[in-house]
Each structure stands twice: as C-alpha cells, then as structure tokens.
Structure 1
Amino acid sequence: MVAGLDLSGRITAQPLTAARFAAFGDVLEVAGAPDKLINQGLCGRHHDRATLDFGPEGRAGISLFDAEPRALPLRLDMVERHPEGSQAFIPMGGDPFLVVVAPDDAGRPGRPEAFLTAPGQAVNYHRNTWHGVLTPLHAPGLFAVVDRIGSTPNLEEHWFDTPYEVVAP
C-alpha cells in the first residue's frame, strides 16, 4: 500500500494533518496558543492561516455552498483544479468532511490521496491543486467558500479512465 492507496485502486482516507496536506494547501484550525488576544482579552486570534491567491485578474469572493451529503465508500471518478486561484472550504457546522487531493503529474492528476477532517477543521487548496468535489459526510452540507471571482476561466476537470474507491480507515 502506498500513502493510503492499494494496488486495486482503493484509497483509504487518512486523518487530515497540516504536515500531510502541506503540498496541496493549508489546514485551517485552532491549534496552539492564539497569535494575540483581542476583544478585551475574550477572543484568541489565530492570525493569517491560509495562503490566499486570486491571480492578477481576480478578487476574493465568499460564496455559500449547500452540498448533499455522501457516504463512504465513495466512487471517485473526477477531480478538478482552479488554475487562477486558491479555494477555501469552511464548514458552517461541526461535522467532518472528506477531502481528496492529487499531485500534479505533467498536467494530469497523479495518484489521489484522501483525508477525513476532524470537527473544526477547514481546508484551503492552493492554486492549481487537483482536488475532489466538496464532499460532506453529514447533513447539512453548508460551507462558506472563499475563492477567486473573475472573468477568466478557472476550472479544469479530469475524469479518470478507471474510478477509484475511497474507503473509511
């Protein structure tokens, strides 16, 4: 087995950690002491936790997504990427969700990896990172999404010839 993928095309979802996810983006979570205390000392600010990138012709936008929950095992037949900007998914509930990413291999996705978030975690995909679609595992699938708003194309999809199967650990 290689990084959660066995030779049959089955991907075992791993717990999401900043170290495991660093090549693909940022894990957003409250961990450790806050960078500073604000609001009369009643609020810890964990400052500047994501590398947001909206390209030269884009701007930041916040959208709300309402996604249908899915279940594991999951058939993974497509990934996408956004060449013009980063994309952050911030759950508006406390439930974990599935994160799928793949390294770039000469303009195509390499072997996918899958992660399960812990409650309170969010992700920010770096610009041009291959990733699966939003995959909540519980209702409601409400997310705030911070991504690029602009007039140039910013979506590329790749459909796998042979789908993968993502399974729980």
Structure 2
Amino acid sequence: MSRTLRPQPLTAEAFKPFGDVIEARGQPASINYGNTQKFADLATIVAQGGRVATHLYRSTPPDYPFAIRVMENHPLGSQMFVPLSGRPYLVVVAPRGRFDPNTIRAFVAGPQQGVNLAPGTWHHFNLALGGVSEFLVVDREGPGDNLEEVTLDGSLLLEAP
C-alpha cells in the first residue's frame, strides 16, 4: 500500500533536527564600507578526517508524484546545498541514527534558501522543481566511508508542491 508525502514549507525551526537553513536572517553586519550586508555564521561545516570540498551539481526534476526508493547519509561530514538557478526545490530528510521510513519528512525550499545537512542526517538526493537547476554543494572529501544508503520499496510517493 502506498503512502503520500506532502512537502511542507522550509523553516529554520522545522528543519533544526536535520541541520541548518541558510538564508538571510537576523541582524546583518555592515561591511565593505557600507556596501555589503553580512549575515554571519549561518551553518556549521563538518569534515571529520577529511577536507571541505566545493562542487556544482546540475539536477533535472523528476516526474511527480515521485517514488522515494533510496535514502543516504554522510556520517563523517555535513553536506550543504545552495540553489543557484532561482527555483524552489525539495528536501527529503529523516533523523540521524537507525533509519525509520516512517520518520521521513519533505520540505519545499525557496529559491533563496540553502540547507546544510548535519552529519548522519538521512536524505534523498536533491530534487529540482520547475526545470534543470544548479546547486553549489559543499561537503567532505577524504578517506573513510562517508556514504550509507538504504533502499525503499517505492511505496512512498512524494507529491509536487
């Protein structure tokens, strides 16, 4: 029997168990002789036993409803996604620890919201909406096994927002 997952709006409070929401919030500092507003310390980057690496991902949106068939986590480092294409996207996550498919949540991230997944947070690969989208991705590179995956039976269907 299938189950439907409906994405909720992404907020820092709702996403807190999974990591950080990267967006302009709080009181910015004025820098560069008043020409720049700096919103500081928005995420914690973790690269245990490795180094921080920067990548560009180009993602094609799937057809919706979309069957969730795999979830992954990175136990040794955080993983940050920052959208570059001006489109919203979906973030599918579950709490760290032993994977439980009943705890999967989905969020709609706005085009100016990034996410930083805490180490060990279960997540689906990034899911574009509205067209091919590019993301700046910051994560850990280095020795050690930093990828765990679980497969699902495909009965969990993710709706488009």
**Which TM bucket (shorter chain)?**
over 0.9
CA distance in 1, matches of 2:143, 2:26: 39
CA distance in 2, matches of 1:88, 1:141: 15
What is the CA distance between 1:50 and its match in structure 2? 0.4
What is the CA distance between 1:119 and its match in structure 2? 2.1
CA RMSD in angstroms, aligned pairs only: 1.6
Structure 2 residue runs of 5 or longer lacking an equivalent are none
**How many pairs are equivalent?**
160
- TM norm structure 1: 0.88
Deviations 1:93-150 (A, max 9, x none): 2110000001245x22342100001120010000000001111113332111000010
The match for 1:27 is 21
Deviations 1:24-45 (A, max 9, x none): 00000012431x1111111110
Matched to 2:5, the amino acid is I
- Mapped pair 1:108 → 2:99: yes
Does structure 1 conserve the Cα–Cα contact (< 8 Å) formed by 2:54 and 2:137? yes
What is the CA distance between 1:8 and its match in structure 2? 4.7
Matched to 2:51, the amino acid is R
User: Which 4+ runs in 1 deviate beyond 4 A?
Assistant: none
- TM norm structure 2: 0.92
> Of 35, 55, 59, which residue of structure 2 is paired with 1:42?
35
The percent of aligned pairs where both chains have the same amino acid is 40
SS in 2 for 1:20: helix
What is the CA distance between 1:166 and its match in structure 2? 1.1
